[in-house]
Structure 1
Amino acid sequence: MPLLLTFLAIILLVLLIAWLKIDTFISFLLISIGLGLASGLDVATIGKAIQKGVGGTLGDLVLIVGFGAMLGKMVADSGAAQRITDALIGIFGTKNIQWGMALAGFVIGIPLFYNAGFVIVIPLIFMISATAKLPLLYIGVPMLSALSVAHGYLPPHPSPAAIASQLNADLGKTLLYGLMVSIPAIAIAGPVFGKTLKKFQPKPDEDLFNVKPRPSHELPGLGISIVTALLPVFLLTSMSALKSVMPGNTLVALLAEPYFGMLLSVLFAAYSLGITRGMNMKAITKSMEEAFKGVSVILLIIAGAGVFKEIMTVGGVSNYIAESLKDVAVSPLLLSWGIAAIIRVCVGSATVAGLTTVGILSPLLVHSTVSPELLVLAIGSGSLMFSHVNDGGFWLFKEYFNLSIKDTLLTWSVMETIVSIMGLVGVLILNLFI
């Protein structure tokens, strides 16, 4: 019965989000209340579960995601993202331009959320394509595949950060392993797959195609741009390792806290990309506020998924599923990836797919002997599987490049599928050594 209830709940969730177009947060709440009542919970218990689900899921995640959004906006608005791209393209040259685009997309994608990163890099893709006289998708796909990988695999992006929190995974290790898995995924989905796309000749809107990047003299220096963009990566990975070596050191313990590392990164960016370039604190604060508003919807989705998970836990549904699956002869990594992939194809949202998977499998995964950091990456890569017409990213790509639905499926959807499968392969290989 619990399995049937869960299956029906997920089907109804898909219908509410994908068919009736009801707000995702509200859909999660409605389904959670319905599942709670169907599981025999009284109204008071459901109310407490909703409160605990929201509070327990968000917690310090609000700080991590919020600070990540602030950092990303400053990197974008200051022109640091453009400076990094220009420099890497200059280093790689026309012959290896795809690899330069992929690396630039990855560096930019770490601090920037996907949609923001997409809008930032599109003018750069158009400009480089026109200057180098190379096909748009040949240039664009390597960069966009890297953005997608960063979005799905790496903290401080909302979905992997939230999944890591639910599974008690170390964010520093998750980021380190994610970097290892990202490299082959980007290489195959980006430059390698991109070489097959020269036959596609999209003709984007001329107004978009002629968008001009900012003049070089208005951009911050390359060194400070890279240091600022990658400071969270350095702090999260190095301090996590240092904490295990110096467990009693208060300063190291504080720096190893993800929210504090993100706070330092934001403060550094405010100084390096703001104050030193003539911005006053009022303008910097306004930019930070706008950045946080941009992720508020994502935080609500995460909160809704947390409520769904808590209702399943309180109602005994999660434990029943865990007991039912514990003897199944399938690797938890493969199981996690598969469920996330199925939900992604049905719902379209990578965030919803990842967090719903955690809600379903958390009792099984928390007690698994598999590295929780690898489980985060398995779910994250599964949540990127086969983006199609129910995903906002699909339409963003289609409209900017002015492609038909068929050609978008043959390019964007295939790229996302490669990213997802390569993520799984990378996780399974890494699991042999961890």
Structure 2
Amino acid sequence: MPLLIVFFGIILLLILVTQLKLNGFLSLIIVSLFVGVLEGMPVMQVISSIKTGVGNTLGELALIIGFGAILGKLLADCGGAQRIATTLITIFGYKYIQWAVVLTGFILGFALFYEVGFVLLLPLVCTIAVSARIPILYVGAPMAAALSVTHGFLPPHPAPTAIAAIFHADMGKTLLYGICIAIPTVILAGPVYAHFLKNIDKPVPPGLYSHKEFAEEEMPGFAISILTALVPVFLMALRAVAEMVLPHNHFLLAYADFLGNPIIATLMAVLIAIFTFGLHRGRTMSEISDTMTVAIKVIAMILLIIGGGGAFKQILVDSHIDHYITNMMHNSHLSPLLMAWLIAALLRIALGSATVAAMTAGGIVAPLILTAGVSPELMVIAIGSGSVIFSHVNDPGFWLFKEYFNLTIGETIRSWSVLETIISVCGLIGCLIFSQLI
């Protein structure tokens, strides 16, 4: 009966989000109330659980995601993103243009949200397609694949960061494992699959060049742009490596733990970016503050949705649903990684939102972490992989890809939806392989 109530709660979530078009945050809070009351929790305890879930989930995440958004906005507004892209294209040349676009998307994907990176890089992709006389999807698909993989697999992006917090997974290890799985995934979903899309040759849509084009002297240097953007990656990776190779009581571990803490790593990147992307480029502190304000506005609703997912997770914990899930797992031979991936994938297909699907799946499968003895870092990536599968008409990203690349719905399914599915399946396979090695 308790699991049946959770099932009806998820059905209600589907109805609210897909049929009634209610905001994801409100939908998650309503479903949390619904499930808590039907599970027999006292009404005041339901309210207390929701407050606890939202507060505990956002306590650390609000800082990490906020700093990450500011870093990405500073990078874009100073021309650093354009510098990274144009330099890599110059290095690779048109013969290997796909690899330049993939590398650009992968690097910028660490600092930029998917939608921001997509819109930022699209004019560049269009320029390449026109000048090289190649189909726009030939370079556009690899760019989208790289951005999507970083969005779904890697901290400090919202969903993987939030799930890592729920699972008490180490951010540095999640990042290292995620990068190892992401590299072959991007290659297969990007340059390899793009070869099968050559016959979808649509004209470049008009009006895609309205974004600001930076002059050569306006942009920061390539080295400073890429190093500043990847500061959080370097610091969190350094912490993970130090924990793996240094003795437990080594004095350097304390420094590595401090610098590699996701909050400190992203904060330091922002402080460096304020100088390299702001003051050093002649911008005033007032202009830099305006950029920060815009960045925070962009992520406000994302944070609320993540908080709503945390509320739902806490209801499942406080109503002791974890006991039923644990018992179910004892009688199941299904891999916890596969189960987590399946739950996230089904929610993604039904709901459309990868973030909502990931957060809901994270709350449902959290009890498996302790009982199954599976790596929490791999569980984060498994859920992230499942949450990006087969984007279709209920996903805003589907329409973003369709309209910008001037495609029909059928062509969008064949390109974007299949590309997302390749990413999802490759991520799962990578997790299963890693689970046998670590």
**TM, length-normalised to structure 2:** 0.96
Inter-partner Cα distance in structure 1 for 2:275 and 2:211 = 29
> Does the alignment pair 1:171 with 2:175?
no
> Does the alignment pair 1:145 with 2:149?
no
Counterpart for residue 199 of structure 1: 199
Inter-partner Cα distance in structure 2 for 1:163 and 1:211 = 34
> Does the alignment pair 1:88 with 2:92?
no
Q: State whether residues 326 and 371 of structure 2, in contact with CA within 8 Å, keep that contact through their aligned partners in structure 1.
A: no
1:319 to 323, 329, 343: 323
Inter-partner Cα distance in structure 2 for 1:345 and 1:201 = 28
Inter-partner Cα distance in structure 1 for 2:358 and 2:211 = 35
> Does the alignment pair 1:284 with 2:288?
yes
Inter-partner Cα distance in structure 2 for 1:141 and 1:217 = 31
Inter-partner Cα distance in structure 2 for 1:247 and 1:2 = 47
Q: State whether residues 154 and 175 of structure 2, in contact with CA within 8 Å, keep that contact through their aligned partners in structure 1.
A: yes
Q: State whether residues 138 and 197 of structure 1, in contact with CA within 8 Å, keep that contact through their aligned partners in structure 2.
A: yes
Counterpart for residue 391 of structure 1: 395
Query: Which amino acid is the alignment partner of residue 388 of structure 2?
Result: L
Q: State whether residues 123 and 208 of structure 2, in contact with CA within 8 Å, keep that contact through their aligned partners in structure 1.
A: yes
2:274 to 266, 270, 274: 270
Aligned CA distance change for structure 1 residues 44 and 109 (closer, same or farther; 3 Å): same
> How many aligned residue pairs are there?
434
Q: State whether residues 127 and 212 of structure 1, in contact with CA within 8 Å, keep that contact through their aligned partners in structure 2.
A: no
Counterpart for residue 27 of structure 1: 27
| Offset from partner CA, 1:252-302 (integer Å, 9 cap, x none) | 332121101110000001111111010111111111121011111011000
Counterpart for residue 101 of structure 1: 101
| Offset from partner CA, 1:193-228 (integer Å, 9 cap, x none) | 011111112234312267673222221100001101
Aligned CA distance change for structure 1 residues 358 and 326 (closer, same or farther; 3 Å): farther
Inter-partner Cα distance in structure 2 for 1:326 and 1:217 = 63
Q: State whether residues 243 and 256 of structure 1, in contact with CA within 8 Å, keep that contact through their aligned partners in structure 2.
A: no
1:406 to 400, 404, 410: 410
Inter-partner Cα distance in structure 2 for 1:253 and 1:94 = 42
Counterpart for residue 377 of structure 1: 381
Aligned CA distance change for structure 1 residues 247 and 65 (closer, same or farther; 3 Å): farther
Inter-partner Cα distance in structure 1 for 2:256 and 2:97 = 40
Counterpart for residue 130 of structure 1: 130
> Does the alignment pair 1:349 with 2:328?
no
Q: Map of 1:416-427 to 2, 5 A cutoff?
A: 416-427=420-431
Inter-partner Cα distance in structure 2 for 1:371 and 1:363 = 13
Counterpart for residue 15 of structure 1: 15
Aligned CA distance change for structure 1 residues 248 and 43 (closer, same or farther; 3 Å): farther
| Offset from partner CA, 1:375-434 (integer Å, 9 cap, x none) | 111110110100000001001011111111111111100100001011111111122211
Query: Which amino acid is the alignment partner of residue 214 of structure 1?
Result: F
1:123 CA drift (Å)? 0.7
Q: State whether residues 79 and 214 of structure 1, in contact with CA within 8 Å, keep that contact through their aligned partners in structure 2.
A: yes
Inter-partner Cα distance in structure 2 for 1:64 and 1:154 = 13
Counterpart for residue 238 of structure 1: 238
Query: Which amino acid is the alignment partner of residue 185 of structure 2?
Result: A
Counterpart for residue 255 of structure 2: 251
Query: Which amino acid is the alignment partner of residue 361 of structure 2?
Result: T
Counterpart for residue 43 of structure 1: 43
Inter-partner Cα distance in structure 2 for 1:140 and 1:311 = 42
Query: Which amino acid is the alignment partner of residue 275 of structure 2?
Result: Y
In structure 1, the gaps of 5 or more residues are none
> Does the alignment pair 1:304 with 2:302?
no
Aligned CA distance change for structure 1 residues 212 and 72 (closer, same or farther; 3 Å): closer
Q: State whether residues 318 and 359 of structure 1, in contact with CA within 8 Å, keep that contact through their aligned partners in structure 2.
A: no
2:366 to 362, 367, 389: 362
1:324 CA drift (Å)? 1.3
Between 14-23 and 87-96, the greater mean CA deviation after superposition = 87-96
Between 85-94 and 102-111, the greater mean CA deviation after superposition = 85-94
1:241 CA drift (Å)? 2.5
1:242 CA drift (Å)? 2.3
Q: Percent identity?
A: 48
In structure 2, the gaps of 5 or more residues are none
Inter-partner Cα distance in structure 1 for 2:210 and 2:350 = 36
1:247 CA drift (Å)? 5.2
| Offset from partner CA, 1:46-93 (integer Å, 9 cap, x none) | 111011010111111111000000001111111111111111111111
Inter-partner Cα distance in structure 2 for 1:274 and 1:262 = 17
Partner of 1:59, secondary structure, is: helix
**TM, length-normalised to structure 1:** 0.97
Between 366-375 and 305-314, the greater mean CA deviation after superposition = 366-375
Query: Which amino acid is the alignment partner of residue 156 of structure 1?
Result: P
What is the alpha-carbon root mean square deviation over aligned residues? 1.4
